[in-house]
Structure formats: structure tokens, C-alpha cells
Amino acid sequence: MNRRQLLKGIGAAGAAAAFRGDGWIPALQAQAPVDWAARIGALPRPGTEEIVVSAVGDMIISSPAAGRQAADVQQMYRILRESDVSFGNCEQPVASVGFMYQKTSQMAWPEILDDLKASGFTMLAAANNHYMDLGPEALVQGLDESRKRGFTIAGAGRNLDEASAAGVTAVKGVRVGLLSFWCNQLQPGGYLDYARAGVNKVGVAVISGAQVTIPGSDGSTSTLLLPVAADMAMLEQAVKRARAQVDLLLVSFHFHWGGVGLGQGPRQSDPNSRRILPADLNDPRNRVAEGRRLIAKAAIDAGADVIMGHGPHVLNGVEMYRGKPILYSLGHFYMEITKDGKALPEFRFNPGMVRSVENNWYLEEHRWAAVARMFVRGGRVTRLQILPVYMDVQKDGFPFLPADADSRKINAAMTELSKAFGTELRTAGWYSEVALAT
């Protein structure tokens, strides 16, 4: 390689840096691409009698993505494919029948399940605010098509008993169970009643909330969103039933609870500039409301081993409770709602929704996600890694392993967000590990 080719390869800034101090070799090393195969190959391996459980957050996807050939994509999927259990929240109806209730639905045909299978997923949550969007017939079809392909799926059913029952699979002689619940702050009526499973009604398992006013000793009052007692009793009973069936019990919560919505709050990007707003970890989206902590801890008290949260579409922190991890939000893993900044026409959004989709999702946090990789022995998590993931929601919403600069940001954010719960995260190169009690 001659001097001109080298300058072209590393650029003027890299060349200028190279002439300062240490010469060409450090500059070339700084520009070298990441060897993702080596990095993923170097991840710790499970010990004797340990199984590997990987989990991601929300998945909204209608176009095949598993065949993308870039190393930062395929090595990301390698994490899922080499795990014994790989979980994600299917935040959309998957069906070829039904009608659109909300007029804003993200949906996919059953063939997308083949792509999720090729990506490495084995477990799916169905309790969320979109799985019922195409109606009862579509919900049942989605469950049937998922199970036909070998997925373990939970959170929805032909009635409440089925929706609140655990999906169970066996890996390496370990019985692994999954429960799934949608935790929401909607008022009774409307979509909430439509989507909620009942004694003889198709739907999803729901934990609803009510505003409670708390008096202070100084005469002031504060308002908390707390879960309804009847729904908490349903949760406790479901966990106890599942506990008797499995060796490891995973519980998925789709949290729409507290905080602010997409169109609210002070941090709104100018839609004309499409400018990405830098992360603000004090934003309500990044914090965990008290009601969410109460729900997650109640599940562990009843017998759950791992809590896998999602719903805010941003990362939230990790809490260790009674030696068991609560992953409050792993962000979104797929967020395919736009293409090059334009709302996907396949969704047939009304004009108001087109504007909402195209003018939102400009927070830096919307580009951050994570894979939680856990080693489990005897029903307890013995090691928990947080592996950063990145995506450009405006471009296509498909994930990949991030550049080192973005990995550092994601690791730092998860470290800071977890401090609120007294949880320590330790950086291990490009990812982080949760400090578990010995």
C-alpha cells in the first residue's frame, strides 16, 4: 500500500493523528474493524450443569431480517442461536385473519415467525398492548402458528386460565417456564376491556393500575399508580401454579406504567430537523415507577426466578431482589415502523399516526438496546451479562452490535440506571456484567 492509498483509507483526520507522536500503526489500529466473531467467541462459556438464557425486549417486525450478512448482525444472532433459551416480546399480532381494532397496529403475517426462529428465538411473550389488535381469531391463530413452529409462548389465550398459564419447555433436562403479563395504566373500558382475557373471553393477561393518593405527614399529598388487587392476586396464583411445574421460572412484564408517552414531555425533537437528542437518563422514560417495582417484586415473592421487562422502548436499570434479577426494560430489539424516515405504508396508518411515527423516535435512547445473557444452575442465575445492541429506528429499526463508542454509552447508561437499585455493573471490554451476590 502506498502513501496515497493509506491516506485515502484512513482519511485526513486519521492521517493527521498518525503524524502526531506514535506514527502510522496506532492510527491504523484505531481504524481497524471490530472482529465480532472473535469477540463473541471469547464470551464466557457456561459451566457444568449450567444452561444459557438470553433475553431481549420488544419485537415489532414484518420484514425478514435474519438473513442480513454483516458480521455485526450475524454475530449478534449467534448469541441467541447458541443459547439454550432465547426470549423476546412479540409486540404485534401475527396472523392472516382478523380486523384492525386500534387503526394503528403493527402486524405481521405468520411467515415472520420463521424469521424469528432463524434468528435464534425459542420463547415469545404475547401479553402486550398489540397482540390483540386484529381480534380474537387472529390472536388464536398467532398462538397456534407459534406453537406449530416449536415456540414456547405465553400471555394470551382463549380465556384467562390459558392466558395466565405458563409455557413450558425442557432444555438439557431443565424445565423452563414462561409467564407473560401486560401491565398498563389505561382506564377501564375501550381497548383495555377489549384486550383483557376473561373467564370465557379470548385475550391477554393484564395487570391494570389505579391512581392512589398518599397523604404526607406535613399535610401534603402524592399520587402513585399502583396495581389493582384482583390483578395482583391473579399474578400471584399464576406464578405459584407455574412454580410447581418448572425448575426455572421466567416472568415477562410489558410495562406501560408511569413516565410519559411518545408525544409528551420536554424532550421533543424538531420534526423539521430530524435531530437526534442526546440521552438524558433523568427523563421519566428512563426511570422506574414505584408500581412497576411492586409488581416485579411480588412475582419474585410468589416464586419467579427472573423478571424480563420491556415496554418503555428504552433501557431501564437492573435490580437484584432476593438474589434474583429484575431487568426492568431491555429496550426494543426490532422496531420496524419506518423506512428511511417515512412511515411504512404497509401499516396503513391514518394521517395523524403517520405524523406521530415520523416525528418521534429521535431520542438517543431509542437507538439503545441490550441482550441479557444469563447462566443458570439449579434455578438460580450464576452470571448475568448485559450485551449492548444498537439500531437506527428511522432507517429500518433492525438491530446490530454497536461500534465501541456506542457500546461505551450503553454500558455507562445501564451502569448509572442500575445504581438507583443498588446494583453494580462492571465493564468487561465491550459489554457489562452484573455483580451478583456470592
Q: Give the bridge partners for 339, in sequence order.
A: 342
Cα–Cα distance, 155 to 159 (Å, whole number): 11
Instruction: Provide CB contacts within 8 A for 182, sequence distance 6+.
Output: 127, 128, 129, 155, 195, 204, 205, 206, 207, 254, 256
Global pTM value: 0.90
Cα–Cα distance, 47 to 9 (Å, whole number): 43
How many Cβ atoms are within 10 Å of 44's Cβ, its own excluded?
12
How many Cβ atoms are within 10 Å of 31's Cβ, its own excluded?
13
The pLDDT, as a whole number, for residue 353 is: 63
Superfamily per CATH, domain 48-434: Metallo-dependent phosphatases (3.60.21.10)
The pLDDT, as a whole number, for residue 381 is: 98
Cα–Cα distance, 57 to 330 (Å, whole number): 5
The pLDDT, as a whole number, for residue 340 is: 82
- Is the backbone of residue 422 left (phi > 0), alpha (psi -120 to 50) or beta? left
Q: Both ends of the chain: CA-CA distance in Å? A: 53
CA dihedral (157, 162, 167, 168) positive or negative: negative
Q: pLDDT tens track of the chain, all 438 residues? A: 443 443 333 343 343 333 334 444 444 445 578 999 999 999 999 999 999 999 999 999 999 999 999 999 999 999 999 999 999 999 999 999 988 776 556 789 999 999 999 999 999 999 999 999 999 999 999 999 999 999 999 999 999 999 999 999 999 999 999 999 999 987 778 899 999 999 999 999 999 998 888 888 888 888 888 999 999 999 999 999 999 999 999 999 999 997 665 555 667 766 677 788 999 999 888 999 999 999 999 999 999 999 999 999 999 999 999 999 999 999 999 999 888 877 776 555 566 667 777 777 889 999 999 999 999 999 999 999 999 999 999 899 999 999 999 999 999 999 999 999 999 999 999 999 999 975
Cα–Cα distance, 367 to 407 (Å, whole number): 11
The pLDDT, as a whole number, for residue 124 is: 99
